[in-house]
Structure 1
Amino acid sequence: MMHPYADAMEQSTPPSETQPPDGDFATGAWAGWGNGDLKEGVYEDGEGEIEGEEEGEDITDEELEENLGRIEGLLGNKNFLSQLEANEKIQQEFLMEFDIYLGMRPPEKMDNAFHFMARKRFPSPFLIRHMLSNHKKRMDDKDDAQRRPLTLSIEKNNEVFITTVLESQYDDADLERILGLKSSDAGNGIHKAIRDGLSPKLTIDLINKVSNKVLKDVDGEGCTPLHRAVEYKRCTEAQLNVVKALLERGDSALDKRNKAGLSIYQYHFSTRPKESSTAAKAFPNPKVRPDRATTSSQPQNPSQLVGGKIGDEMGKKALYEKEDIKKKGEEAHNGFSLDQRPNMGPGPGFRRTPTFKQEDETEYGVPKPLINTNNQANISRKTTSAPQPATTKTQLEILKETPPTASKVTRNSNRKKWSKTTTRKAVKDVPPVSKVFADEIANEVKLQYLRSTFTNDQRNHDTAVEFLYPDNQMKHICFNLLQNYKPMSKKSLTVGSYSRFEFDTALQFVAVGPIAIEKQGEPVASQRQRRDMLTLFEWLKDKKVNNIVKVVVNDHKDPFHSDKAIIDALKQFNIEILDWSKPDLCPETIRAACNDVRELYLSWSGLNGMLLAWGGTDGLANLPNLTDVYLRQISNSESEEWTIEKLNDFEKRLKNTRDWLRAKQKAETLNSQSEDQLTDLPRITVHRPKVQPKVDNQPIADGVGQEQNKQTPIKDHQWLEYMDRFSSGIFTLPPDEEYIKSVPNLPAELRRDVRICLIDDGVDILHKSITERIEDGGRAFGAYTRDEYRGMARPFYNSTTNHGTLMANMMVRVCPFAKIASYRLDTRRGEDNRVHFTAKSAADALEYAIKQDFDIISMSWTVREETGPEEDNTADITRIKNALREATAKKKLVFCSAPDTGDISPDELSSYFPVGSGIQELFRIGAAKADNTPWPQLVKGDEVIQNNKSLKSGSSIATALAAGLAALMIHVVRMAAIRTYELKKENEIEANLIKLISLKTIKSPGTMRKTFDSMTTDKMYVHVWGNFYRKGNELKAADDAEDSKAEKWRIIAELARDIVSSQNTDQ
C-alpha cells in the first residue's frame, strides 16, 4: 500500500513496505527502509558526537543514518511541520526522539537536518532555532557539493530558513565567517545572494551582518558583490536599496577592478544592452533562479520586462525549456530522471536525492511557534540516547497516522508542468528592469565615490576620473575658479572657451573665488545686490549638471550676494557639502537653497544672535541629513570666555532641538499609522574654530604667487617675426569647418586640426591670444593638500605661475592653427625656493597623454631624480622613462627642454627627466645662448622674454617654439593634402602631389627629425629664414595677385613638397 505521507515526503514508499498499525518511531513508518551501504563504527571527537556529551558513543553509523532518514521524511511533511510549530507537546516528543541525532555529524555523503530544511520550501523555524541554540556546529557541515546549510538556503532562495537564522541568537561572528567563505569561482555568500536572486530585503539583512572585508572580496572573475549588484539585469527599484546597503556597510569595493580591468561604475555600463541589440531574452523570476553556474553579465533587454510581460512567444518557450532542463539536471544528480527512477523510499539509502517541488498551496503556511524554543536545556538529552516505544499513542504518533490534506504527488504526477498560465504568472512577479533604475544605481555609485574623495586619502579627483571613465571618454567632474580674481564675461561661459566644456551630471565640486561676471548690455547691479553666482550656476544647469557634492564660494567681502541670489543659484541642484563664506548665512536661506546638505561650513561674525538662530527650532536642526557643522569665526569682539560659553550654549540648543524634532517625527509617524519606514535624524557634530579668527583674503596657496592674473608681455624677436609673417600669410586660407565639409571623400585624419598636448602648470584659457585654440580635452594631475580642499583638483584652465600660458602662447604664435590640450602638473617649492613639478604628476600626465590622439607632446621643464631619505622618486622616474618609450613607439612627436644650467656633464644630465632618459627619438631642445651644449637642436629662446623667473627659462621657450614649428609643418602638409582632394586629384599618379600618406610621413619622428636637421646650421641652431622666410614674403606679395587665393595655394603646395621631400622621407 502507498505510504500515507508519500506526498509530504515527496517520494512513494516501496510497495513491499507498509506502515505498521502502531505508528511507533522505531518500528513504524520509518522502520526498515532502504538497504544502502552503511558504514560501521562509532562517531567520536565531533564526527557524530554532541559536543560535551557522551551519549553518542553508543550510536552506530547505521542507527544514525536510519534516524536522519526518518527526520528527513518528517521534515518533508508540511502537515507535520505545521503542527510542530504550533504544538509544544509535539515539539517535546520530537526532541525526545531525535535530538541526539540532530547534534551528530552525519555519515559521509549524507546531509544533516539543517541541509534538509535548507532545501525545503517550508522548513521548521522552531527546529532551526533549537539547533542553532544547541547544535550550531552543524551549520559548518558540508553537503557533497561542499555547501554549508546557509549557503544552500541562499541558493535555494529559502527565505524562511534565512530569516530564522538572522532572527535567532546565532553568533554574528560565525555568520560572517560562513558568509565570507568562498565556493570555487562563485564567490562568497553575499555574491551568491545577489547572483541567485535572493529577495532584496534578505540580501540587505545578510549584508548588514558582514564586514567590509567580505564585501570587497572577489569571485572568479574578479568581481566584488557590488560589481554583481550593479549588473544591468538586476537594476530594479528594490535593487537600489541593495546597492546602497553595500556602499553604506563599506565602500572598499569601489577600489577593486575585475579581471577585465573595469571599475564597478565602468562594469555597470559594460553590462547594459547595446543600442543595436534586438535580443529577446527573458530574465527569470528570482524565485525561479537562473542557472547558478552562469557567470555571464550579459544584460537582458529591458523592453521585455516592463510591466512583467513578455511579448515574444519564443521567449516563453525558452523559459519553459530552460526550467525543464534545469529540473532534469537536478534529477540526473542521482543517476535517474524522474520518469525513469525506480520506486525508492526516503530511508537511510535515500541520500541527497533532490526533492520534488510541491504545489503552491498556502493552507500549509508555517505559523509562529507557541513556545520559546531557545531554552531547550530542560529537555534531557540523557533520555534520548536509546528511545523506547511508547505504551500509549502520543500526539506525534496520532499525527503520523493522519493523512495530510495536501494533494498527493505521485511519481507520475509530481512534476509541476509549465503551462502558459503558470509561466505568465512567474514572469509577472519579476520586478521590472528599467533604465530609470539603472541610472539611479549608477548615479548612487558615482556619488559615493565622489563624496569619498573628501574623506579617503587614497581617493581624489584623479582617481575619480579613472573610476568613472575609460581613457578616451572623460568628462569634467569639477569646476574650479578659486584662483580667478579678475572679472570674466558671461560670454566666456556661453560662447567662449568654457562653453566647450562637457560636464558629468554629477560634479565632485564647484569652487569659485570672488569674481565678478560682466554681462554685456545689462546694467551694472547694485553694490548691495550681487548676483554673479546665479549666472554661473544657471550656466552649469544648462550644462545638464544635477548633483554637486561640494560647493565652495568665496563671498566674504562686501558687497555680498543677496539671500535670494544664493537660493536661486543653489536650489536647482542636489548639494551635499556647502561652504558659502558669506558671513552669518541665514538658516532659512540654507534650508531653501539646499535642504539636503550633509556638511555645512559657516562663517560666523561672533554675534550670539546668529548662534541663537542656527540652534533654534527654525534653524539647522531642521536639515534632515545634516551631520557636521564647521564654524569659521571671522571676527572676535568678545572675550574668549564669553565666546566659549556661547558656543557651549549653541551646541546644547542644537542638540536639544534635534532631539525634539526626532521625537516629534516618531510621534507623527505612529499617529499616522504610515507603513513608510522612519528614517532617524542623524546626530549633528559641531566643529569649533581651531584658531583665532582671521579673514582669508588670499587665494589658495599653491606654493607660488599670483602671477596667473597678469598677462605677461612678450618681446618680439626676429625669429618670431619671420614666423609671424608666414602664419599671417596663410591665416585667411582654409581649412575652416565649412571648407572641410565641402570637400567630398576627405579622410578623417585630414579633417582634424593638429593637436598638441601641453604638459605644464595649466593654461589661462581666457587669455585673449590663445582662448580660441584651447580645446576641451585638458586635465589636472594632483590635488590640493589643505584640509578644506582635500581631494579637489587644481584647474588645468588656470596657470599657477603663468608658465603654461606663456608656452601655449608661443605655440599658437608659431602655429595659430593648432589645438592645444592643457595637462596641469602638481607643483612644489624646492630647497632652492624655485617651483618644481612632482615626478608623480609628470608620470601620471605622460601615461595618460600617450593614450590620447595627440600629434605632439610638449614638456618645457625637467624633474630631477631624487634618491635621498627625505624624498625618493625613483619609481615615478621609471614610469616616466617607460611612458616615453611607449610614446615614441606610437610615433608621437615628443619635445622636451634642456636644463638651463650651462655646461652640463653627461652623468649629471642623466638625472634630469625627460631629457636625460637616453631615448634617441625625443626632440631635446635647448635655448640658443649657451656655448658647448650637447643639444641636437637649439631654438632662439633666451631673448624672447625679459623676466626669466620661476619655471620660465630660455630652454622652456625654445621647446614651445620648436613644438609650434613642428605643428606648423604638419598643418602645411595637411592643407596641401586637402587641396589635392578638393581638386579631386587624390587618385592621380604624380610625384609632386601631396596626399594623405604625406601627412602620415611628416608626423613620424624620423621624418620630422630630418626636417629639423635640414633647417639647422652645423646640426645645432634651427633657423627659419630659409623656406619660411622666403615663403612668408611670397605669401605677402600674393595679396596683390589677380587670383590671390590660388597663388597662395600654389605657395603652400611648394612648401609642403619641400618639407616632405625625398631627402627627408623615411623609406
Structure 2
Amino acid sequence: MVFVAFEPRANQVSVVKVKTSRDENGNYDNQYSDDRRLQKLFQCIYNDLQKNDQFVGRFFQCLEEHDGNTAQKSYTFSDGSSFDLSLALDPKSDDSNILHYLIDRFGQETQDETVMKRFADFVKNIVTHMPGLVRDRLDDGRSPLDEAVLKDGFLEIIRAICEGCMKGIKTPHSGSVSQTIHGPNDGFAQTNSMSLNSVQERIEYDEEGITEPLSWLDVAIPNRDTCLHKAIKMKKDDYIDYLLEQIKAANAVDAILGHYNQDGFTPLHLAVDFKLCYGKQLDIVKKLVNLYPESLTMSRSDSQTSTAKNPKRHLHGRNRNNQNEGAAVEIKGSLSPYRHFLQTRRKKGDAKSTTARGSTRHHGDLQIGEQIEEFLKLSCMRSYGKNRAVLTEMFPRSLGQIHFDLNPRTEVSQKLLDYISKSPIMKFQSYLQYVYIPNLRVVGVTMEELEKKTWWNSLSRKDYVYIFEWLRRSMGVKKILKIVVEDDPKDPHSDEAIEQAVGSFDVEEWDWMKQDLCSDTIFAAAKNVRDLSLYWSGNRALLKNWAAPDGLAKLKKLQTVRIMTPQSRESRERAEKIIEKFRVDLENSWKSHEHCLEPPKVDIQPISSQAHVEKKLSKTEKEEKGRKEKWLKCMDDFSKILRRYLNNLSSNTPSSKQGIKKVAIIDDGVDVDVDGIGMSVMGGETFYDDKGHWPGFYQSAYGHGTLMARQIRSICPKVSLYVAKLNEVWRDGKPQITAKSAAEAIEWAREKGVDIISISWTIEEPEEKDLLKTAVNNALGQNILLFCASNDLGNLSNIPYPAAINPEKIFKIGSATELGLREDKTQKRVDFVVPGSEVTKRLADENDQGFAGPRSGSSIATARCVGLAAVILQCVELFQLHNKDNPRKIERTYENMNSMLGRLVDKDDDHHYLRVWEVFDEAMQKAEVGENHEWNIISMVASMFMGMAK
C-alpha cells in the first residue's frame, strides 16, 4: 500500500512504502493485514489515549520523524507493545480502520472531558496525515464521520474530522470559493467567500498515483445517507448546525443538501417529516431552506430501489446529475418536501393515540406541524411564486386557489363574489401568492358592518376595500404575499382606505399604483414589506420624505425599492444628481436604524406612455345579419326537452346516472358570473402567465371563451364544464396563443377525465410542436374526443394546428352559412360544417363597452358541434343506463362519434353539413305523447344514433 506524509518544514509530499511482514528480530513476523494484530494496535492506541496525556504529541512526533525514511521503526506503547506506525494509517481492514475503531470504543461509555479533548486532537492529526481514512467505509456504508454523528457527545470529534481534512469544492471562479444564497427568510442575499489559498491543501496518493482533494463529495455516495441525513434522523441539533456551517463554508451546499438517500429523501425531506415532530424541528427546516431554497423543488421517489453494490467505493467528481449512477431507481410518483410533510402528517394523524397523554402530545405536534406548514408554504411562494409550473409540482393538487387575479375586468359585482365564495372549485388558501386588481368599479356590493365604521364617512373611493374585506371574511385569507393594484389616477383611494383595505394581510411585495404614497401609509399597511414599488410625480419634497430616517428606513425588512419616475423636466445631469442624493440619504437613514439587513437596493424605472393595444376577436368573427335557422331551432327545441327530463330526474337520481358529460373549454377563460355559466363549471385552471401573474380562468379576456361556453350550454343544458385559460403573446399587434400553454391545458383536461375537448382556435405550425403533439396524442390515447376549428383565413391547403397533429383522429369543424353551405373563408379540409354565421351578443352586461362586437365563424361552429356531440353521448349513455338488459354498448371513440355524426350528413352533400333535424326533429315528431314523452324522444334519438355506431 501507499500512504502520504507531510514534511512540516519543506511542505513536500513523501511517499512511504509500507512493509507487509515483520523483520528477523521478531518485531514484524506476522502479516500486517492480520486483523488480530491490527485490533491489538488499535487497543493500544485507545488505552494510551485514555491514560497518557503525552501520547498524542509523542505519537505524531514519532510519525513525523520517520516520514520519508525507508527503514521502518516501531512505536512502543505504555504496555510495552511495539508496532509499525504505518499500520495505524492503513485506510481499511477486514472490519474497520483506526477511526472506526476508536469512535466506536469511545462512544460505548461516557468519557472524561479531558480524554475526549485528547481523542479529538488525535483524530485531527491522523486525518490530516491520511484523509483517506475518512472516506473508508464499513460494509454497511458508514464512514468514520457517519459513525461520529451517530454517537452522543461527539461534536468535538466531528469538528476534528472536518477541520482536519474536509475542504471546499472548487468553483470555476479563480481565487475564491463562493456561493450566493437567496434564502426566502434571510431577508437578503448573502455571499460567503473564502480564499483557496487560506485552505491547507492536503493531498493523498491512491494506488494509481492520482492526486485530488478530499471534499464533501468524497463522503457522500449515491442513494445512501450522508452524515447530515443521519444527524437529522437522530435529532442532533448541535451536529446539524455545525455540519451546515461547514457545508456552507466549503461550497458544498448543492452536493449535500441536494443529495438523495436510499429512500429517495433529501435532507429537507427528512427534516419536514412529521414523524420527527420535536421542538426545534422548525428551526432546522428554516436553516435548510434558507441555505438551499432549491431543495423545496426536489421531489422524492415514493418507491426507489437502490442497487449500489460497493458502498466503500470512492466517488470522485460526483455531482447531482450522476449521483444515481450504479443504482436502478423505480419511480411510481414524486413528492416535494411540502407534499411529503402533508403526507407524513396525515399518516401520523391516522395512527395517533387516543389516550389523554397521547392527546396532549398530539396537540403539541399539531402546533409544530402548523408552523412548519406555514413556513414551507410561504417559502415556496416566496422563492418560486413567479413560476407556476414549479409551484404546481410543489403543492398538492387539492391545495386550491393561491392567487386572485381580476384582470381584465372593469367591474366586480356581488354576483361574481357570491359565485366565487360558494363555488366548490374556487376554494381559496389562507395564504395567497398575489392579488391583482385592475382599475375597476365595485357595483351592488354592501357590507353593513364595515360601512358603520367611523372612517367610512370620508369622501374617497372604497371599491377595493370591499374586495379585500371579502377576501378576509368570506374567503378566509390571512396573508397576501404580493399585491398589484391599479388605482384610478383621477379618483384614487385615500391613504386611510388603503390602510384599512390591506393592513391585516402582512403584504411583502407592494405595488399599489398611486402617486406619491406616504411612507407612513406603507408602514401602517405593510410594515414587513420586502419589495416596494412607488410611483413618484416628480415632487422632490416627497422624495426627501421617503429617504428620511422616519421614512422608508423604518421598514426593517425592505430589500428593494422600485421608483417609477415620470419624464423629468430637469436636465439629465440634474435629474441624476437628485436620484443619487436619494440613494445616499436612504442608505444613511437605513444605517442609523442599525437594521440587521443591508440597505435596500434602489431601482429607478421611467414611466413611458404606451399606446393602448385594443384586444379584440379575429376579424373573421364579425357581425352578420341573419335569423335563427332550422338548425338552431331544432337543437333549441330538443335542448328544452332534455332539460325538462333531466330536471325531473335529478330530484331522485344521482348525477352519475344522468349521463352528464365533461367538456373542456380551452380558450381565454369564461365569465362565470354571466348567464348562470358558473353553475356548470366544475373545474378550472389558468395557464396564462403574464410575467408571474396568472389572470383567473373565471373571467374571459375577450369574451370568446364565454361565448363558447354559452353555445355549448344552449345545446347541451346539463354539462360539466372544465375551463382552461390559455397564455398568449402579441405579434403584429394581434394576440397569438402559445403552443406550450395549449399543451399544458390539454394535459390538464385529460387528467380531469373529460369526454370532449373544445378547441375553437387555430395556430400555424408552432415552435413547441412536440409538446403540443404529446399532449394531443395522450388525450387521443384515452379516447377523448377533440373538436378543432378550421382556419377562417381562406381555403388553405394545409391543416392548421392542433388538428394537423393527427387529422385522422381529430374532428375539424367549419362554419356554414344559413343555407347550409360552407362559408367562403372556411377551409376546405373539414370533417363537418355547422352554422357559424350567426349574430350573437356579448354575454356580459348590456352596458359593457369593453368588448368587440358579435361573433361568427368556425369557432362558434366548433362550440355548437361540441354541444351536439355532448348531447349525443348523453342520450346514448342514458339509454344504456336505463336499458341494462340491452347487450349493445357504445364506447366513446372517434370512430363511433364519426359514424353517429355521419348519420346527419346527406350522402350527396360534399360540404358535410350536419342536418340535425334528420334525427332530432324526427324523434320529436314521432315519439309517443304521454307521461314519458320526453324519455320517449330521448330514447328514440339514442336508438337512431346507436344504429350507426360500430
The interval holding the TM-score normalised by the smaller chain is 0.7 to 0.9
Amino acid at match of 2:149: I
Counterpart contact for 1:140–1:148, Cα < 8 Å: no
Q: 1:516 to 1:577 in 2, by over 3 A?
A: same
- Between the aligned partners of 2:476 and 2:572, the Cα distance in structure 1 is 47
Amino acid at match of 1:740: S
Are 1:226 and 2:268 an aligned pair?
Answer: yes
Please name the residue that 1:46 is paired with: 4
Query: Which deviates more, 182-191 or 846-855?
Result: 182-191
Query: Which position in structure 2 is the counterpart of 1:656?
Result: 588
Is 1:720 matched with 2:632?
Answer: yes
Within the candidate set 597, 604, 610, 1:688 is matched to 604
Amino acid at match of 1:217: H
Deviations 1:706-759 (A, max 9, x none): 999x999996531323323333455455438xx63534xx4x622674321001
Q: How big is each residue's C-alpha offset from its partner over 1:752-804, in whole Å with a ceiling of 9 and x where there is no partner? A: 743210011222333x33533452511122412xxxxx222233233333322
Taking the TM superposition and a 5 Å limit, the aligned residue runs for 1:331-342 are: none
Q: Which of residues 772, 777, 799 in structure 1 aligns to 2:683?
A: 777
Which amino acid in the other structure matches residue 1009 of structure 1?
Answer: N
Structure 1 unaligned blocks of 5 or more: 1-42, 281-300, 310-431, 664-679, 785-789, 867-871, 981-985, 992-996, 1039-1045
Alignment gaps of 5+ in structure 2: 67-84, 170-201, 203-212, 302-330, 817-821, 843-850
What secondary structure does 1:1012 align onto? helix
Contact 1:497 1:774 (8 Å CA) reproduced: no
For 2:638 and 2:461, how far apart are their aligned partners in 1?
A: 47
Cα 1:72–1:538, aligned 2, differ >3 Å: closer, same or farther? Answer: farther
* 605, 612, 615: which one aligns with 2:537: 605
Change in 2 beyond 3 A, CA 1:568/1:69: farther
In the TM superposition, residue 637 of structure 1 has moved relative to its aligned partner by 5.2
Q: Is residue 922 from structure 1 mapped to residue 823 from structure 2 by the alignment?
A: no
The 8 Å contact of residues 707 and 802 in structure 1, kept in 2 or not, is answered as no
Corresponding letter in the other structure for 2:686: A
Given candidates 760, 763, 781, the residue that maps to 2:670 is 763
Q: How does 1:777-816 map to 2 (within 5 A)?
A: 777-784=683-690, 790-816=691-717
Q: C-alpha distance in 2, partners of 1:735/1:1062? A: 23
The answer to whether the 8 Å contact 1:1007/1:1064 transfers is: no
- TM-score of the aligned structures, taking structure 2 as reference length: 0.74
Name the counterpart of 2:721: 820
User: In the alignment, what sits opposite 1:148?
Assistant: 143
Partner of 1:1016, secondary structure, is coil
Higher fraction of strand: 2
Aligned residue among 355, 375, 382 for 1:444: 375
User: In structure 1, which of residues 727, 734, 740 is the aligned counterpart of residue 650 of structure 2?
Assistant: 740
Tell me: higher relative CO, structure 1 or 2? Use CA pairs within 8 A at least 6 residues apart. 1
AA aligned to 1:846 is I
2: CA distance, partners of 1:924 / 1:151:
64
Is 1:233–1:433's contact at 8 Å kept on the other side of the alignment? no
How far has the Cα of 1:559 moved from its partner? Answer: 2.0
The answer as to 2:290 corresponding to 1:248 is yes
Is residue 239 from structure 1 mapped to residue 259 from structure 2 by the alignment? Answer: no
Once residues 107 and 560 of structure 1 are traced to their aligned partners in structure 2, the CA distance between those partners, rounded to angstroms, is: 76
How far the C-alpha of 1:884 sits from its partner, in A, is 3.1
SS of 1:1025 mapped into structure 2: helix
Match of 2:560 in 1: 628
TM-score (norm 1): 0.67
In the TM superposition, residue 823 of structure 1 has moved relative to its aligned partner by 0.8
Larger Rg: 1
Q: Which amino acid is 2:669 matched to?
A: G
Match of 2:417 in 1: 493
Q: Which whole-Å CA distance do the structure 2 matches of 1:968 and 1:163 have between them?
A: 73
Distance 1:461 1:553, change over 3 A: same
What amino acid is the match of 1:1015? L
Aligned position for 1:956: 859
- Separation (CA, whole Å) in 2 of partners of 1:684 and 1:706: 44
Query: CA offsets per residue over residues 231-260 of structure 1, 9 Å max, x none?
Result: 221343422222222222223333433333
Match of 2:429 in 1: 504
Q: Encode CA deviations 1:303-327: one digit per residue, 9 max, x unaligned.
A: 9877679xxxxxxxxxxxxxxxxxx
The answer to whether the Cα contact below 8 Å between 1:583 and 1:602 also exists between their aligned partners in 2 is yes
Contact 2:42–2:102 (CA<8 Å) still a contact in 1? Answer: no
Structure 1 residues 930, 435: CA separation in 2 closer, same or farther (over 3 Å shift)?
A: same
Deviations 1:135-158 (A, max 9, x none): 525333114435432232224453
Whichever residue aligns with residue 685 of structure 1, its letter is K
Does residue 1054 of structure 1 match 2:937?
yes
Structure 1 CA distance for aligned equivalents of residues 283 and 611 of structure 2: 44
Partner of 1:32: none
| Contact 2:6 2:12 (C-alpha < 8 Å) held by counterparts | no
Identity between Structure 1 and Structure 2 (%): 24
Residue in 2 aligned with 1:128? 120
After TM superposition, the structure 1 = structure 2 runs for residues 833-844 of structure 1, keeping only pairs within 5 Å, are: 834-844=734-744
Report if the CA contact (8 A) 1:861-1:951 is conserved. no
2: CA distance, partners of 1:964 / 1:797: 20
Q: Hey, what's the Cα distance between the residues in 1 that align with 2:744 and 2:502?
A: 34
1:269-320 superposed Cα distances (whole Å, 9 cap, x missing partner): 333344884477xxxxxxxxxxxxxxxxxxxx999877679xxxxxxxxxxx
1:139 aligns with 2:131: yes
Is 1:205 the counterpart of 2:245? The answer is yes
- The residue correspondences of 1:825-864 to structure 2 (distance < 5 A) are 825-830=726-731, 834-864=734-764
Superimposed CA distance per residue, residues 574-618 of structure 1 (whole angstroms, 9 cap, x where no aligned partner): 322111112222222222222222111111122223223222232
SS in 2 for 1:683: coil
Per-residue deviation, 1:961? 0.4
Q: 1:940 to 1:132 in 2, by over 3 A?
A: same
* Structure 1 equivalent of residue 871 of structure 2: 968
Cα distance between partner residues in 2 of 1:625 and 1:853: 46
Of residues 195, 201, 216, the one that matches 1:178 is 216
Q: Retained in 1: the 8 A contact 2:511–2:532?
A: yes
- Cα drift, residue 939 of structure 1: 0.8
Is residue 2:330 matched to residue 1:271? no
Question: Where do 1:172-571 residues align within 5 Å?
Answer: 172-173=168-169, 177-178=215-216, 181-183=219-221, 185-199=223-237, 200-202=240-242, 204-209=244-249, 210-257=252-299, 258=301, 259-264=331-336, 265-274=338-347, 277-278=350-351, 434-453=365-384, 460-470=387-397, 473=398, 475-484=400-409, 486-495=410-419, 499-500=423-424, 501-520=426-445, 528-541=459-472, 542-571=474-503
Q: Deviations over 1:528-555 (max 9, x none)?
A: 4222222212222232333322211111
The separation in 2 between residues aligned to 1:76 and 1:490, in whole angstroms, is 83
C-alpha separation between the residues in 1 aligned to 2:696 and 2:626? 28
Amino acid at match of 1:132: K
1:860-903: CA deviations, max 9, x gaps? 1223225xxxxx33422432xxx333323423222112223544
Contact 1:497 1:765 in 2 (8 A): no
Distance 1:220 1:974, change over 3 A: same
Q: Does structure 1 retain, via aligned residues, the 8 Å contact 2:642–2:717?
A: no
What's the counterpart of residue 786 of structure 2?
894
Paired residue type of 1:843? A
Deviation of 1:820 after TM superposition, in Å, equals 2.0
Aligned to 1:589: 521
CA distance in 1, matches of 2:460, 2:618: 30
1:360 is matched with which residue? none
Which residue identity lines up with residue 780 of structure 1 in the other structure?
A: T
- Contact kept in structure 2, 1:972 and 1:1056, CA below 8 Å: yes
Instruction: Indicate whether 1:1011 and 2:900 are aligned.
Output: yes
Cα 1:172/1:579, change in 2 over 3 Å: same
Among candidates 749, 765, 773, match of residue 656 of structure 2: 749
Give the partner amino acid of 2:722: A
CA distance 1:267–1:950, shift in 2 (3 Å): farther
User: How far 1:474 moved relative to its partner?
Assistant: 5.7
- Residue 260 of structure 2 aligns with an amino acid whose one-letter code is V
Q: Match of 2:224, as an amino acid?
A: A
3-state SS in 2 of match to 1:214: helix
Q: Structure 1 pair 76/202, CA: closer, same or farther in 2 (3 Å)?
A: farther
